[in-house]
Structure 1
């Protein structure tokens, strides 16, 4: 980490802003407004909220911080909710959704007693903008040309789609995995350090990584992306899905494993899931929100003429609608983590839920 000591948001933001002259600030407002918005939100946060700079990314004579935000229970045995945005620089809406939820959460701390009691039971960690360099450059990859979601040391078992599944030909082509001998990129490594520090040994860890991509519907994906067989503890995912659908029966999401769409090399969440669950302590459920961008394009086809238009709602009222439409999902994850004992399956329910999950998601492969 660039700063090992947790700082109050005000101190961390002032240190970052002091390094920038007026010209750099104007460039950030023009090319990286997501970082400007995030720093404004953090500067207004209560003193109980901790902010750290996990890493700094150098791009075009700018130093861009990778922020980590922590709040909630200090108990090392409390469940954790991890929110991540901005992994792909082109998918700005992912970072915007995470920041919007964080802003809502921090605003409620001043008056919402129920939320205060909830946060006494669960730890919340947020990385709203994992790839600031890529977002500043308006590209999917990080400044080194590496696709962070193809950057983990794990290979697909089976045929992966050419290029889309990850390639080592050139950083000038999309979906470049990087060279294995170079290890993970600084942004991926920063996320790995958060995972290693926060998740092992917890009774439950939930993560939500927010993206946008081609599709007509919003989708919630879970591992694996590297193989078509079920993940090790698929019954816990089915239990979470059923709990969500009972609470929100009219939800808009398609809930399914990523492998139903394609196989990839180097998926970060496959790698982290295998690492955390290798210890056998607690439960880790990593989820990916894939917002369907074709709906925005269908209503405004000329977005196809802009690179950003492929992945983001460019009309203000549609952007606002997206920013508020996923708040219920994130609030649900917070409540589900705090109340995990009520829905996580015991030994008696696990076999039944596992069989149901295989029949629902994998029967074509069995």
Structure 2
């Protein structure tokens, strides 16, 4: 295995003040500035790339990815994505919180250093900077990126919410039929192809908010009630999560058990995984209705519908989900120890099918 390409932190660890946003003269937003501060501070550790620039209201925002860990192209990898919907800022904040913590831990955490010698972490915390800057769910072209892949659901989807091609003036717009995917969608899928699915084993977690009273982990498919081919691997991963975090509050299931939709990017990425590779994408859906129930006045704020408002609740969310991101990193590192062999897949498939038997959706 190739040695790490990053250097240990000098002692003492970096001053937390360096992570404070330092806005440029141009208009910006807090999460974008915090990401840039993390990348500046961790420039000796992160391999940072700019894949495109997105323009919104005359401002140009780079689409960043930052990677850390081994350079071995066959090593397992985990991708962390956020900000696909511009209003769902808390998902981006969860990832930034984890990136910041990793940098501080590199000063003293020898186990983390050893772990990163055998695993690659890929971060894309702000997939839709234009939407986040303009306080909109969609990108600057009015397209809902999570409904922008070219495929269509196999059965009827919820009206509008499952994706519509009528007009960008209505929410959940998929884009014009037959048109190329939006640049943000195309870049994200290219990152997945090049840095995750190209490896024998990889995981992805995409952080969202805004659905239900409980936090959920969803996995493909969203376009069909058929179960994914890698159901034994996903079932094993869920079992490991429940055994190592027995008091977690996540509902873990195929997204189709809740509703179907057109154009899901993770369905598209999963279906285009090279044969023989195992790529397990998941969506973390933070249940924002719980925050609204505790603070009903949030209903009158576009930001409050999708994010916790009170400072103590934001801190609680950031603490609560850091363990999940760390669990996925460890699971990728230890993949050879738990991935089911051919002799167990049939049995696990039966158990998983019984556990996640598709519900009869309308």
Query: Are the equivalent residues in 1 in contact too, given 2:257–2:358 (CA < 8 A)?
Result: no
Q: What do you get for the CA RMSD once the two structures are aligned?
A: 1.6
Choose the corresponding residue for 1:174, options 171, 174, 190. 171
Say whether residues 1:254 and 2:275 are aligned partners: no
Relative to structure 1, the CA distance from residue 112 to residue 21 in structure 2 (aligned partners, 3 Å threshold; closer, same or farther) is: closer
**Correspondence for 1:291:** 286
Q: Counterpart of 1:170 in 2: which secondary structure? A: coil
Corresponding residue number in structure 2 for 1:195: 192
The answer (yes or no) to whether the contact 2:165–2:177 under 8 Å persists in 1 is: no
Q: Give distance in 1, aligned partners of 2:151 and 2:227.
A: 16
SS at match of 2:132: helix
Q: What is the Cα deviation at residue 203 of structure 1? A: 2.4
So what's the TM-score if we normalise by structure 1? 0.90
1:328-343 superposed matches below 5 A? 328-343=323-338
Q: Secondary structure at the match of 2:272?
A: helix
SS in structure 2 at match of 1:326: helix
Matched, 1:357 2:347: no
- 1:306 aligned residue: 301
Asked if the contact 2:83–2:129 (Cα under 8 Å) also holds between the matched residues in 1, the reply is yes
Query: Where do 1:229-240 residues align within 5 Å?
Result: 229-240=226-237
Correspondence list, 1:101-120, <5 A: 101-120=98-117
Q: Measured at CA, do residues 263 and 75 of structure 1 come closer, stay the same or move farther in structure 2, by a change above 3 Å?
A: same
Which has the larger share of helix? 1
**Unaligned runs of at least 5 residues, structure 2:** 1-20
Deviation at 1:363, TM superposition (A): 5.6
| Misfit runs of 4+, over 3 Å | none
Hey, what's the Cα distance between the residues in 2 that align with 1:364 and 1:188?
A: 30
1:227 to 224, 228, 248: 224
The answer on whether the counterparts of 2:148 and 2:182 sit within 8 Å (CA) in structure 1 is yes
Distance 1:358 1:254 in 2: 16
Shift of 1:59: 1.1
Residues 166 and 175, structure 1, Cα contact 8 Å, conserved in 2? yes
Q: How many residues of Structure 1 are paired with residues of Structure 2 in the alignment?
A: 341
Contact 1:46–1:106 (Cα < 8 Å) also in 2:
no
Distance 1:321 1:194 in 2: 30
**Contact 1:72–1:123 under 8 Å retained in 2:** yes
Query: Does the 8 A contact of 1:217 with 1:253 survive in 2?
Result: yes
Of 174, 194, 206, the match for 2:203: 206
Residues 89 and 141, structure 1, Cα contact 8 Å, conserved in 2:
yes
Q: Deviations over 1:181-213 (max 9, x none)?
A: 321101001111111212344221100000001
Deviation at 1:46, TM superposition (A): 4.7
Give 5+ residue unaligned stretches, structure 1.
1-16
For residues 277-302 of structure 1, what are the alpha-carbon distances to aligned partners after superposition, in whole Å with 9 as ceiling and x for unaligned? xx322211000000000111111100
* Residue 312 (structure 2) pairs with residue 326 (structure 1): no
Deviation at 1:49, TM superposition (A): 1.4
CA contact (8 A) 1:88 1:147 kept: yes
Cα deviations by residue, 1:6-33 (Å, 9 ceiling, x for unpaired): xxxxxxxxxxx99x962x1xx32xxx11
* Aligned-partner SS, 1:125: strand
Q: Counterparts of 1:144-159 in structure 2 under 5 Å?
A: 144-159=141-156
Match of 2:161 in 1: 164
Residues 261-288 of structure 1, C-alpha deviation per residue, up to 9 Å, x if partnerless? 1110000000000001xx3222110000
Q: Give yes or no for contact 2:49–2:64 (8 Å, CA) kept in 1.
A: yes
